[in-house]
């Protein structure tokens, strides 16, 4: 028995054939072009699935279920997208009905950050843990809550917007409409902003070898590793923002493990060791309880696809 996992992103749609061990047997992808009618997007997904089946020799009857990870707020029971924030995905889109036009296979849908957390909890960095929190540092700060090995969805499946808690009251404008959200300080978008500010304030910094419009989440980290003082200060403050938010999560959930995902997590212990040290004094019962684990995600960009495939469980 196999599972189809689909990671429906704003830019690309990744489709994978996943086995019972949660491993990708084969995967493919197509551009999303989110401005298109949704029928076309689903027709492309169906083509990808047929392609994977034909290339692997797996029969349609061997597919247990199709799981779709999507941005936005969803009704998991009905398989409907309620709305998708900044994405041009419309409102009240019936994913299940759209896929039923192509396959007579059960369809499950989940929020993209939630399914990534599920994948890390089942077969990734939090494997074997019962309660885990995953945060994904990217354009925004995504969150996923795993309780008793399952995604905690909340009412209207709207739980897990972990990036949208206020860290700096009346602070930076956040994309969600609030001011001072964690996301507005700990996302890679925020790191780029912080890097550019430091470059302009420190003309001597080697960060200025990078043109302003080419600054990425790596600019400050690369310069910091070379000992650049301004860059070290940016990285230190950025780690501070990450640590404060993770300490919040530990005080709220006391999870067995916090998984940190997103491209920046590839910095590994260079990022996480200072974060762990900063968190240590910030959590309730610090020194009296053992540290909760903080680890880098393991599945990278495949987490969404694998987690979607695991939604059936």
Identify which of residues 73 and 105 has a Cβ nearer to a copy of itself in the complex: 73
**Which three-class secondary structure state does DSSP give residue 75?**
strand
Buried/exposed code over 85-123 (b: 16+ C-beta within 10 A; e: otherwise): eebebeeebebbebbeeebebbbbbbbbbbbbbbbbbbb
Residue 128 binds to a copy of itself (criterion: CB under 8 A): no
Tell me which stretch binds a copy of itself (CB under 8 A): 34-42, 107-115, 172-180, 211-219: 172-180
Residue 24's CB is within 10 A of a number of other CB atoms, namely 16
Tell me which stretch binds a copy of itself (CB under 8 A): 25-33, 101-109, 196-204, 247-255: 247-255
Residues 47, 41: Cα–Cα separation, whole Å: 10
CB 130, min distance to a copy of itself, A: 9
Residues 41, 15: Cα–Cα separation, whole Å: 12
Residue 237 binds to a copy of itself (criterion: CB under 8 A): no
Long-range (24+ apart) CB contacts under 8 A made by 227-230 are 229/202, 229/205, 230/198, 230/199, 230/201, 230/202, 230/204, 230/205
Residue 131 binds to a copy of itself (criterion: CB under 8 A): yes
Q: What is the CA radius of gyration of the chain?
A: 20
Residue among 156, 197, 273, 313 that touches a copy of itself (CB under 8 A)? 156
Residue 167 binds to a copy of itself (criterion: CB under 8 A): yes
Residue 80 binds to a copy of itself (criterion: CB under 8 A): no
The secondary element (H helix, E strand) that includes residue 225 is helix 217-225
Tell me which stretch binds a copy of itself (CB under 8 A): 7-15, 55-63, 227-235, 251-259: 251-259
Tell me which stretch binds a copy of itself (CB under 8 A): 117-125, 146-154, 191-199, 228-236: 146-154
**Which three-class secondary structure state does DSSP give residue 170?**
coil
Q: Which residues bind a copy of itself (CB under 8 A)?
A: 73, 82-83, 85, 91, 131, 143, 145, 147, 152-162, 164-169, 171, 176-178, 241, 244, 247-248, 251-256, 281-282, 284-286, 288-290, 292
């Amino acid at each position: 028995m196999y599972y189809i996992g689909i990671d429906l992103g704003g830019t690309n749609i990744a489709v994978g054939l996943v086995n019972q061990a949660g491993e990708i047997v084969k995967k493919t992808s197509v551009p999303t072009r989110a401005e298109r009618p949704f029928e076309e997007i689903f027709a492309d997904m169906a083509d990808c699935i047929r392609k994977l089946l034909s290339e692997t020799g797996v029969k349609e009857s061997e597919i247990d279920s199709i799981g779709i990870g999507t941005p936005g707020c969803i009704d998991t029971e009905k398989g409907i997208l309620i709305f998708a924030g900044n994405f041009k995905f419309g409102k009240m889109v019936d994913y299940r009905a759209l896929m039923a036009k192509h396959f007579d296979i059960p369809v499950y849908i989940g929020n993209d950050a939630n399914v990534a957390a599920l994948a890390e909890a089942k077969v990734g960095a939090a494997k074997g843990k019962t309660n885990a929190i995953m945060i994904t540092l990217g354009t925004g700060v995504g969150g996923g809550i795993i309780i008793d090995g399952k995604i905690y969805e909340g009412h209207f499946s709207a739980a897990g917007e972990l990036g949208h808690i206020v860290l700096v009251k009346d602070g930076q404008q956040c994309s969600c409409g609030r001011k001072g959200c964690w996301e507005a300080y700990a996302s890679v978008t925020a790191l780029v902003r912080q890097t550019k500010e430091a470059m302009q304030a420190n003309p001597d910094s080697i960060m200025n070898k990078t043109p302003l419009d080419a600054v990425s989440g790596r600019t400050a980290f690369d310069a910091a590793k070379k000992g650049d003082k301004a860059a070290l200060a940016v990285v230190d403050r950025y780690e501070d923002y990450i640590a404060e938010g993770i300490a919040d999560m530990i005080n709220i959930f006391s999870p067995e493990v916090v998984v940190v995902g997103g491209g920046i997590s590839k910095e590994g212990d260079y990022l996480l060791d200072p974060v762990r040290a900063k968190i240590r004094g910030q959590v309730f019962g610090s020194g009296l309880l053992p540290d909760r684990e903080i680890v880098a995600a393991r599945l990278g960009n495949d987490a969404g696809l694998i987690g979607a495939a695991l939604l059936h469980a």
